[in-house]
Structure 1
Amino acid sequence: MDRPVILDCRGVWKLYGYQSKEFLARHNGSPSDQDLADNGIIGAVRDASVQIRKGEIFIIMGLSGSGKSTLVRCLSRLVEPTAGEVHFEGSDLLSMSEANLIQVRRKKMGMVFQHFALLPHLTVLQNAAFPLEVQGVDRRTREEKARQMINIVGLSGREDYYPRQLSGGQQQRVGIARSLVADPDLWFLDEPFSALDPLIRREMQDEFLRLQSMLHKTIVFITHDFDEAIRLADRIAVMKDGRIEQTATPEELVMNPATPYVEEFTRHIPRAKVMRLRSVMSPGVPEGIYAGELAGSLTVDATIGEIDAAEHPFKVTDENGMPVGTINARTAIDVMIGRTNG
């Protein structure tokens, strides 16, 4: 992947406790877990480094208390890191003035949180337009832009509803419309679907993928649900006790876990859910009869029904739509039942 890095975070620490900066300096910027415990310091984020690439869905995941939400707040400087570097589009966020930081957040960053935080006295249209109102955009312009976002998230016709008149999923859609109305370059989502019922959650994941296919945003997405992560992510960073254990594609995490924790975390994920056709195809496209073409980025799980039902193999295409290999039912079924060294 050769996309440029839009957000570069290196060696970030967030410590809570008495004179935490001085503590970190005394330990040469690299205290041990025992050092932290002995001094009553909580290491919410410990020496974290991530590089977010333009246009990707980058998921930060881990169990409750792993530090994922604190890290994302450090990336947007909603929380001040104790140490480290954070550069956004080449600018040093940590040395930026408060006024400049506010402008960056208002115009270049969108945020959606688990709790929708809609303003109850405002309509759907007014809630969606609110960020532009804060920016001083005139009413006609901001409402026109808000209507476009409301249409994109599938809520046309509900512009005059109040939040109390909407379902949880609809309220979340308003939150998404509001976060997108300023056309952010970087979009932060902190467990946006975790408060929703499973069926609505699945629908919102579908909606999220549909939006991304249209808008091509750079997205940092937090979740503790590995199934959600592998469904949505281009890459995943797995956190434990404030540290990043591994950053990789979903496929790489499952097939090549870097630590025992990641291995245990991914143990029960079926390979077919993460293995892409490009990884299990037979290279080359010999002359013959084919049932059609399938994108190499698709998973075996997503295509097994179509592959199994066809009399002939499929061509597998690369990101440019060019045939680069083939896949047949036998290969796909081997992956489904785990009969592969893939």
Structure 2
Amino acid sequence: MTIITIKKGTKYYEQSEILHDIHFTLEQGERVTILGKSGSGKTTFLKILAGLVAFDSGSYEKAEVKISYISQKPVLFSHMTVLENVVFPLKCQKIARKQREAIGREFLEKSQLSKWADMYPYELSGGQQQRVSVARALISKPDLLLMDEPFSSLDVRLGREMRQWVFSQIEDLHIAAVFVTHHYEEAKIFSERILLMEKGLLTQASETEIDAFFGDGMSWEGVYYPLSDWYLASEGIPVHIESSLVLYGQRYWSVILENTGEQKFIIAGDEAVNLGEKTCIAPVRRKQDA
């Protein structure tokens, strides 16, 4: 089912065109990532999808769906405890207090925030506040989740844990999601579709454009290959395996280049290796051409 259809959407701010001739559709359960430099119009577009801002021209059709929005910075009620903040959407749905608090404590446990349930936002770190925002957005089981770099304020370990939990919730509940990020790993493991916002234009991003955006990719025998073309191999560029995970049926590898110490995120390969093991990476095309 199509839940959003936009045709020729245009938005101005102080006579400057922020979004130009946007065409966009979103299906129920579809996961879309939007890449773009700061000031390209990504956040404005998310706010329009959320109904917080309107296009100045063009058409925007939206089905009757429940929407949750996670902004870059946490926006919490300062006079409410962590638990009260998280269960606020359930209160708006007139769910009984005992029931909503039980659901809220379960979400706080998944977000590793249980021990702060009775504290107020000012007593938490910025990363903890953002985790509260994430839990509040998911607790009502929305049909559409809009995320504007929600994990950027979290440390690497916690950000990865939260990311995996959020993405699993999205998949399990068949939630449609639009995700703005500057993180290569997040874009690659999350999306069915990756779009590029540039100077107010929204277009489908090619693999080359994605890798160019993140500044990633490597040369091999005089040919430049995006990271999406590399796999674990018995010969090639020496690396050490840092971590491995499986999401949506695909295995992903985080590797450290032996000669430079750089981290690269490789999204192809099924070899059985152990963390810390020394191996190599090589372009997929080299394997296919051999």
The structure 2 residue matched to 1:307, chosen from 271, 274, 287, is 271
2:25 is the counterpart of 1:51: yes
Aligned to 1:124: 82
- What SS class does the counterpart of residue 66 from structure 1 fall into? coil
2:244 is the counterpart of 1:247: no
The structure 1 residue matched to 2:37, chosen from 60, 63, 83, is 63
The structure 1 residue matched to 2:73, chosen from 99, 102, 115, is 115
- When residues 232 and 273 of structure 1 are mapped into structure 2, their CA distance, relative to the original with a 3 A threshold, is farther
- What SS class does the counterpart of residue 307 from structure 1 fall into? coil
Rounded Cα–Cα distance in structure 1 between residues aligned with 2:248 and 2:141: 29
The structure 2 residue matched to 1:339, chosen from 282, 286, 289, is 286
1:276 deviation in Å? 9.9
2:34 is the counterpart of 1:72: no
The structure 2 residue matched to 1:162, chosen from 120, 135, 144, is 120
- What SS class does the counterpart of residue 80 from structure 1 fall into? coil
2:9 is the counterpart of 1:12: yes
Letter of the 2:87 partner, please give it: A
2:157 is the counterpart of 1:183: no
More helix, by proportion: 1
Unaligned runs of 5+ in 1: 18-40, 92-103, 278-293, 311-329
Rounded Cα–Cα distance in structure 1 between residues aligned with 2:45 and 2:83: 32
Rounded Cα–Cα distance in structure 2 between residues aligned with 1:170 and 1:74: 27
Aligned to 2:239: none
Aligned to 1:37: none
Q: Deviations over 1:201-252 (max 9, x none)?
A: 33432333343344332111112334432232221110111111x325xxxx
1:163 deviation in Å? 2.4
- What SS class does the counterpart of residue 178 from structure 1 fall into? helix
Aligned to 1:324: none
Aligned to 1:274: 228
- What SS class does the counterpart of residue 195 from structure 1 fall into? coil
1:118 deviation in Å? 1.6
The structure 1 residue matched to 2:55, chosen from 60, 68, 81, is 81
Rounded Cα–Cα distance in structure 2 between residues aligned with 1:182 and 1:216: 13
Q: Which moved more, 1:185-194 or 1:154-163?
A: 154-163
- Of structures 1 and 2, the one with the larger relative CO (CA 8 A, separation 6+) is 2
Relative to the length of structure 2, the TM-score reads 0.73
1:273 deviation in Å? 4.9
- When residues 273 and 171 of structure 1 are mapped into structure 2, their CA distance, relative to the original with a 3 A threshold, is farther
Query: What is the aligned-residue RMSD (CA, Å)?
Result: 3.3
Rounded Cα–Cα distance in structure 1 between residues aligned with 2:179 and 2:185: 13
Q: Based on CA coordinates, which of the two structures has the bigger radius of gyration? A: 1
Letter of the 1:11 partner, please give it: K
- What SS class does the counterpart of residue 45 from structure 1 fall into? strand
Q: Deviations over 1:296-330 (max 9, x none)?
A: 644573564x50549xxxxxxxxxxxxxxxxxxx9
CA contact (8 A) 2:230 2:282 kept: no
Rounded Cα–Cα distance in structure 1 between residues aligned with 2:288 and 2:41: 34
Rounded Cα–Cα distance in structure 2 between residues aligned with 1:216 and 1:155: 25
How many residue pairs align between the two structures?
Answer: 252
Q: Which moved more, 1:209-218 or 1:167-176?
A: 209-218
CA contact (8 A) 1:61 1:226 kept: no
Aligned to 2:188: 230
Rounded Cα–Cα distance in structure 2 between residues aligned with 1:207 and 1:264: 28
More strand, by proportion: 2
Relative to the length of structure 1, the TM-score reads 0.63
- What SS class does the counterpart of residue 206 from structure 1 fall into? helix
- What SS class does the counterpart of residue 187 from structure 1 fall into? strand
